[in-house]
Amino acid sequence: MKIAILPGDGIGPEIVAQAVKVLNVLGESFELETAPVGGAGYAAHGHPLPEATLALAKAADAVLFGAVGDYQYDNLERSLRPEQAILGLRKQLGLFANLRPAILYPELAGASTLKPEVVSGLDILIIRELTGDIYFGQPRGVRECPDGPFKGQREGFDTMRYAEGEIRRIARVAFQAAQKRDKRLTSVDKANVLETFQFWKDIVIDVHKEYPDVALEHMYVDNAAMQLVRAPKKFDVIVTGNMFGDILSDAAAMLTGSIGMLPSASLDANNKGLYEPSHGSAPDIAGKGIANPLATILSAAMMLRFSLNKPEQADRIENAVKAVLAQGLRTGDIYEAGTTKVGTEEMGNAVVKAL
Amino acid sequence: MKIAILPGDGIGPEIVAQAVKVLNVLGESFELETAPVGGAGYAAHGHPLPEATLALAKAADAVLFGAVGDYQYDNLERSLRPEQAILGLRKQLGLFANLRPAILYPELAGASTLKPEVVSGLDILIIRELTGDIYFGQPRGVRECPDGPFKGQREGFDTMRYAEGEIRRIARVAFQAAQKRDKRLTSVDKANVLETFQFWKDIVIDVHKEYPDVALEHMYVDNAAMQLVRAPKKFDVIVTGNMFGDILSDAAAMLTGSIGMLPSASLDANNKGLYEPSHGSAPDIAGKGIANPLATILSAAMMLRFSLNKPEQADRIENAVKAVLAQGLRTGDIYEAGTTKVGTEEMGNAVVKAL
Ligand SMILES: CC(C)[C@H](C(=O)O)[C@@H](O)C(=O)O
Ligand SMILES: CC(C)[C@H](C(=O)O)[C@@H](O)C(=O)O
């Protein structure tokens, strides 16, 4: 089985190196091939998603992705900026289902800005649609305003859209995920204002007929943002569109206070996927050997479970991560008095040892 | 000066009654006129925003609004549902600037789900554009999908748009508000993905030239959602579009844990405005006499300051609210052991007495 390794920018290479070390000691015969992406892709080939990188990602059974973005690429024109790589990979590979767990490890409850009783034991799964919505809808651009009080001025515009089949397939992923958990699904929309999300809601209600064992509720996105702050543990699985999912999944991740621990998966229709930590490229700490590699290591575990059909290996890695936390090892981002501060490599080595 | 009183549904009438009592003891000669809106408008005249109600709102110098929505209207077709009243009032009255303070009163720090050190002393102001964006953009609807892999299926779609002049005027409101506070403005966008918000960002940067004394930063909406959870006190004034503002202002309000305390103002170009509590109509507790009237009373204070040019009266009300909190009076939503639980009327009477 072939895995494309795309380390990217900032802390990407350091944290991906630890996950690769972990993959290499599992005793499986994976073929790993590395290619530059994001700013590194631009630096090497003049484009954030070089053709050879895209070809590798397409040919592989799964993609392990670090993070993209660094200060020196901030002033490039938009089409050349690092984040275009991730948008391009999602679209080109058809990675429509983004799974983002927000889990609070008991040992790290203190890291949250929320009171322990509100978040301890938090375990929610946000499923974000990833190839539709206002992210890719056409037409979009800057044009002359065609009507209304600002007619004739310039205006920026974008198109939000969801087709029936797009909603059905993400809803199915969400209902099936809920079936494996507490069987409760919250579909987040803005049906009171947006036609797209009234349509979304209608289709989700229809798909629900295929999954009568799952309890479905509908919630407006503004209320969902409130309930995540007020009582996040009430959620089991949340499904929503690309734009709302971008906002809510980051808010949910931050509730844990330990975003350096959170993996993510982006899957296509055949469970091929791209796996990446939920955090970014953190260029301010890049190269210092202090970044937390656990989110990337846990992303590799998700990869083994969802794309490579090795659930026992995924369990092994997840247990090894729990073991190093139980040993009291912490990178700086999750450090508390009374624990042992370690660097990126030490943490990676500790996971390898726990395996 | 004429004030339109629109109590609406659920707890609306109870809480507005307390604010009216407060207005009546200020010793000013306001002319108050009441009209039904939302579900009450539909029940009385078959439409959530009856013509006479709209005419009254247009003729008045300011509008005091309760809340709309109740279970019995949930199954009406969208154009007749209560929330259409508030969307209609915003659009018809040109109320483009929504000011939503998120303030944590020291006495109520315990009500927050966040740790006291993260939120105590919180005082941020969110300025949400209220008449543009994807809320009103045309075209919108359900159509046959014109292209791509779902071609021929039904799709829901909406249009996001902001014209130059729309961005300029809300940016000016925000810069001016920041000038009266800590002189720091965060413009929240999604310029890395949306054409509308790349344009938004460019125009905000241009307007900044008129306000060189204000420090301007730009933040992506997903990051803003995270920073509100991680370190909300770092913000001073936030300005953003209608959709992002809907989500972020509710999240920010919930950080305080006391949304029953938070007023809001929606202003037009001449400082005429509509004033309403940030919370909703709470039909589950309507008629029980237990709702918190303070957000509505504080909305009346905002009305005196922004639309009726009576800043001393606004100060008086705000000080009276602080006084009743200091006396230990609490409605159920903000009650803690050691304080005195009171009902809606008692709370209103206490504010009147403190005046
Ligand atoms: C970098 C950006 C385009 C991206 C997004 O908005 O999807 C990021 O925020 C994410 O969530 O992966
Ligand atoms: C009721 C709804 C249409 C409204 C909105 O989305 O603007 C509400 O959520 C608000 O924030 O006032």
Which band of pLDDT confidence, cut at 50, 70 and 90, is reported for residue B74?
confident
A153–chain B Cβ distance below 8 A for any pair: yes
- A175 C-alpha to ligand 1 centroid (Å): 24
Q: Are residues A303 and A323 in the same domain?
A: yes
Last residue of a domain, which of A234, A255, A276? Answer: A255
Q: What whole-number distance in Å separates Cα of residue B351 and Cα of residue B355? A: 6
Which band of pLDDT confidence, cut at 50, 70 and 90, is reported for residue B154?
very high
Which residue in this structure is represented by tokens 């125009």? B203
Please provide the distance, in angstroms rounded to a whole number, between the alpha carbons at the two ends of chain A.
21
B230/A229 Cβ within 8 A: no
User: What is the average per-residue pLDDT within A320-343?
Assistant: 96
Q: Are residues B82 and B7 in the same domain?
A: yes
Proximal ligand: closest to the CA of A129: 1
Alpha helices in chain A (DSSP H): 12-24, 39-45, 51-59, 83-93, 116-119, 164-179, 195-208, 221-230, 242-255, 294-306, 311-326, 344-354
* pLDDT per position as a tens digit, B37-72: 999 999 999 999 999 999 999 999 999 999 999 999
In a domain, B110, yes or no: no
For residue A23, CA distances in Å to A36, A66, A307, A322, B188 come to 19, 15, 14, 17, 39
Helices and strands: H and E segment counts in chain A: 12, 14
Contact B135, B243 (CB under 8 A): yes
In a domain, B339, yes or no: yes
Burial A204-219 (b: 16+ CB within 10 A, else e): beebbeebeebebebb
Q: What whole-number distance in Å separates Cα of residue B294 and Cα of residue B106? A: 15
Residue type, position A43, single letter: A
Task: Measure CB to CB from residue B251 to each of A114, A159, A229 and give the nearest one.
Answer: A229
Chain A hits for B163, CB-CB cut-off 8 Å, are 145, 148, 150, 153-155
Which residues make Cβ contacts (< 8 Å) with residue A300, sequence separation at least 6? A19, A22, A23, A64, A275, A317
Does a cis peptide bond (omega within 30 degrees of 0) precede residue B293? no
Structural domain for A304, as ranges:
1-100+263-355
Cα radius of gyration rounded to whole Å, chain A: 20
Pairing of strands A263-267, A97-103: antiparallel
What mean pLDDT value characterizes chain A?
Answer: 97
User: What is the average per-residue pLDDT within A226-240?
Assistant: 98
What are the phi and psi torsion angles at A100 (to 5°)?
A: -125, 100
Alpha helices in A25-135 (DSSP H): 39-45, 51-59, 83-93, 116-119
Q: What whole-number distance in Å separates Cα of residue A188 and Cα of residue A191? A: 9
Find the helix or strand (DSSP H, E) in which B159 lies.
Answer: strand B154-163
Residue A196 confidence (pLDDT): 98
Q: Are residues B129 and B67 in the same domain?
A: no
CA A351 distance to own-chain centroid: 22
Mutate to test the interface with A, among B78, B205, B250, B334 (most CBs of A within 10 A): B250
Q: Are residues A1 and A25 in the same domain?
A: yes
In a domain, A213, yes or no: yes
SS (H, E, C) A154-165: EEEEEEEEEEHH
Mutate to test the interface with B, among A157, A188, A336 (most CBs of B within 10 A): A157
Contact B84, B48 (CB under 8 A): yes
Q: Are residues B83 and B154 in the same domain?
A: no
Q: What CATH number has the domain bearing residue B315?
A: 3.40.718.10
Chain A hits for B247, CB-CB cut-off 8 Å, are 221-222, 225, 244, 247
> Could you give the number of structural domains in chain A?
2
Q: Are residues B172 and B231 in the same domain?
A: yes
Looking at the predicted structure, is the pLDDT value of residue A349 above 90? yes
Q: What percent of chain A has pLDDT over 70?
A: 100
Active site residue A115: no
Q: What whole-number distance in Å separates Cα of residue B355 and Cα of residue B353? A: 5
Q: What whole-number distance in Å separates Cα of residue B241 and Cα of residue B251? A: 15
Last residue of a domain, which of A198, A233, A255? Answer: A255
User: What is the average per-residue pLDDT within A37-66?
Assistant: 98
For residue B236, CA distances in Å to B127, B177, B185, B224 come to 11, 10, 6, 13
Q: Are residues A318 and A240 in the same domain?
A: no
A161–chain B Cβ distance below 8 A for any pair: yes
Which band of pLDDT confidence, cut at 50, 70 and 90, is reported for residue A257?
very high
In a domain, A106, yes or no: no
User: What is the average per-residue pLDDT within B209-225?
Assistant: 98
* pLDDT per position as a tens digit, A116-162: 999 999 999 999 999 999 999 999 999 999 999 999 999 999 999 99
In a domain, A116, yes or no: no
Residue B94 confidence (pLDDT): 97
B282 is in an annotated binding site: yes
The one catalytic residue in A73, A135, A211, A275 is A135
Geometric angle at alpha carbon B106, from B103 and B110, rounded to 5°: 95
- B156 C-alpha to ligand 1 centroid (Å): 23
Phi-psi bin for A54: left (phi > 0), alpha (psi -120 to 50), beta?
A: alpha
Phi-psi bin for B287: left (phi > 0), alpha (psi -120 to 50), beta?
A: left
Beta carbon of A193 within 6 Å of any ligand 2 atom: yes
Active site residue B42: no
* pLDDT per position as a tens digit, B76-92: 998 999 999 999 999 99
User: What is the average per-residue pLDDT within B121-137?
Assistant: 97
Q: What does pTM read for this prediction?
A: 0.97
User: What is the average per-residue pLDDT within B80-107?
Assistant: 96
Q: Are residues A145 and A229 in the same domain?
A: yes
Contact B275, B65 (CB under 8 A): yes
3-class SS of residue B186: strand
B137–chain A Cβ distance below 8 A for any pair: yes
Q: Are residues B250 and B280 in the same domain?
A: no
Task: Measure CB to CB from residue A113 to each of B118, B225, B254 and give the nearest one.
Answer: B118
Residue B262 confidence (pLDDT): 97
In a domain, A113, yes or no: no
Q: What whole-number distance in Å separates Cα of residue A283 and Cα of residue A68? A: 9
Proximal ligand: closest to the CA of A67: 1
Both tokens assigned to A314: 């995924």
Both tokens assigned to A263: 């993996």
In a domain, A112, yes or no: no
Task: Measure CB to CB from residue A155 to each of B142, B162, B255 and give the nearest one.
Answer: B162
Q: Are residues B167 and B209 in the same domain?
A: yes
What are the phi and psi torsion angles at B255 (to 5°)?
A: -55, -35
In a domain, A49, yes or no: yes
Beta carbon of A86 within 6 Å of any ligand 1 atom: yes
* pLDDT per position as a tens digit, B231-286: 999 999 999 999 999 999 999 999 999 999 999 999 999 999 999 999 999 999 99
Last residue of a domain, which of A223, A255, A287? Answer: A255
Which band of pLDDT confidence, cut at 50, 70 and 90, is reported for residue A74?
confident
Q: Are residues A245 and A279 in the same domain?
A: no
Active site residue A275: no
Q: Are residues B198 and B251 in the same domain?
A: yes
Residue B144 confidence (pLDDT): 97
Cα radius of gyration rounded to whole Å, chain B: 20
Q: What does the DSSP assignment read for B8-35?
A: ESTTHHHHHHHHHHHHHTSS---EEEE-
- A29 C-alpha to ligand 1 centroid (Å): 32
A155/B163 Cβ within 8 A: yes
Chain B hits for A138, CB-CB cut-off 8 Å, are 147
B292 is in an annotated binding site: yes
Specify the ligand 1 atom closest to the Cα of A130. 7
A280 is in an annotated binding site: yes
Pairing of strands B263-267, B273-277: antiparallel
A156/B150 Cβ within 8 A: no
Task: Measure CB to CB from residue B153 to each of A158, A165, A243 and give the nearest one.
Answer: A165
A225–chain B Cβ distance below 8 A for any pair: yes
Q: What whole-number distance in Å separates Cα of residue B62 and Cα of residue A206? A: 44
